[in-house]
A and B are shown apart, each in its own frame.
Chain A
Amino acid sequence: MEAFLKRLGSGRIIVADGAMGTMLQAAGMPVGASPESWMLENPDPVINVHRAYVEAGAELILTCTFGGNRTRLERGGLAERVVEINQQAVEIARKAADDKAYVAGDIGPLGQFLEPLGKMSFEQAVEIFKEQTTALFEAGVDLLYIETMSDLNELRAAIEAAKQTSTEVPICATMSFENHERTNMGVRPEQAAQMMLSMGVDAFGANCGATLEMTEKVVAKMHASFLEASLVVKPNAGKPHMEGRGVVYDATPRDMAEYAQKFAAMGARIIGGCCGSTPAHIAAIAQAFK
């Protein structure tokens, strides 16, 4: 495959994968298990999910390491296995990618407030992220992918960690925007974009978040502020609602594909899905860009 940054620069859309957690639950992961710890004993279901996305047309897949930082893992007594978990996740993803997709090392939030709201300092956050970014980088990812951030400082800590890990590794980063087109912590799309651009993030944007309509507004704001930027959009498959005793996300594959085209017209270069999206959603997005 051509180098990731070269491909990104070509302007051709890179289709990314969809949800992992919900797919693993469907494959039998017990209630309450963290995907990272379950994967240690059950690598096959994780490989199968990755493969399903690659077969659907995803050219970029995220490792199963969203909660793979020390702060989150220690809640399950796995703090000493950060390196092992991240390495195994990269191996699994690499095997499934089979030279057809880029492997992105996934980095999620710490699940704790940084100072002044919480007790963790910025420097501590950088160290915790760095342990994970280093493990992912050394295991051979094609890029680092920071996602679902709400706090600008925490995002900055994660980017800082990625930069300290390697000056060469490409970095993508996305924040999660909720009501009023702000993150839970009140960050505006333009503010997030400005910061990520100034820190040298290669592609940035929005993931998860409230609704597809709102994601469209967020993307429009980022695009209007930085016309040349390569944007990343990985939204939920709409909003969840109850159907009987199960949760159903209301966006159909066709809905997702329609929005994907709108995002592409606004500078999005990496497009996939987050909560509630399935290989069918990703296949529809891939089809839209064939």
Chain B
Amino acid sequence: MMSDILKQLHAAVIAGEREQANQLAAQALEAGIAPLTAIEEALSPGMQVVGERYESGEYFIPDLMMSAEAMKGAMAVFEPALMKRKEQRRVFGTVVIGTVEGDIHEIGKSLVATMLSAGGFEVHDLGVDVPVQKFIEKVREVDANVVGLSALLTTTMRNQETVIQTLKEAGLRQQVKVIIGGAPTSQGWAETIGADAYAENANEAVSVVKELLGVK
């Protein structure tokens, strides 16, 4: 049976209330609720609801962002508590994400990064117009197992393929799952260039990456 505080925290994440989520997180700790319990029973299921509402057309980008902020507000309380207890939130995987070289579109990529982060992934966001070598270096540096490639232009989408080729040449293709996205891209394009998956939006990206890594 979920405590009232956790129910309220769950609701605060869904409503996108950062301050409230922050305060409720502190109250949860005071009431003796373990941070991991709060994350697993209130925050993650809350974001799940947000994702479902986005898919169904009830929520839109601003709602996603506000809810991710609310989650961050709560995590700002839980993270130090986890450290103190020498516990760790379960990290599903390490993601390196960026918009490919020649393309400066930021919003979609950042949204995917935010949702993956809220969904329990360690995310390294390289920004926009990212040279191929920067992807390779970062994958090595953080020992990533997921690479996210965004492209919004029919021309720059070809650079998604270049990154995949270069990962192969660097001997890194086996260790990472590659997911692509962006307006002109599609499942068909993912297959053409040898990516592991395509996701249409930020919410789908989280479930697709989880599926690729075999996490429930």
**What residues of chain A have their CB less than 8 Å away from a CB belonging to chain B?**
21-22, 25, 31-34, 72, 75-76, 111-113, 117, 150, 179-180, 182-186, 240-242, 245, 247
Contact = CB atoms under 8 A, between A and B. Distances in A.
A263 B157 CA distance: 32
B104 A75 contact: yes
A240 B192 contact: no
A160 B82 CA distance: 49
Contacts, number: 66
B107 A31 contact: no
Contact of B61 (A32, A34, A185): A185
Contacts of B153: 21, 32
Interface of B: 57, 59-63, 65-66, 101-107, 128-129, 153-159, 183-184, 186, 188-189, 192
A31 B192 contact: no
Contacts of A76: 104
Contacts of A32: 101-103, 129, 153, 155-156, 159
A25 B61 CA distance: 31
B184 A247 contact: yes
Contacts of A241: 186, 188
B156 A31 contact: yes
A178 to B, nearest CB: 9
Given A185-B62, A186-B61, A186-B62, A25 B155 contact: yes
A242 B186 CA distance: 8
Contacts of B183: 240
Given A31-B159, A117-B66, 12 more contacts: A21-B153, A32-B129, A72-B104, A111-B106, A112-B107, A113-B107, A184-B60, A240-B154, A240-B183, A241-B188, A242-B186, A242-B189
A183 B128 CA distance: 23
**Which interface residue of B59, B128, B155, B192 has the most chain A CB atoms within 10 A?**
B155
Contact of B105 (A111, A113, A185): A111
Contacts of A185: 60-62
A185 B61 CA distance: 5
Contact of A179 (B57, B62, B158): B57
**Which interface residue of A25, A112, A183, A184 has the most chain B CB atoms within 10 A?**
A184
Contacts of B106: 111-112
Contacts of A117: 61-62, 65-66
B107 A186 contact: no
Contacts of B186: 240-242
Contacts of B128: 75
Contacts of A33: 102
Nearest to B200: A179
Q: Which 4 pairs show the lowest CB-CB distances between chains A and B?
A: A32-B102, A186-B60, A180-B57, A242-B188
B5 to A, nearest CB: 26
Contacts of B101: 32
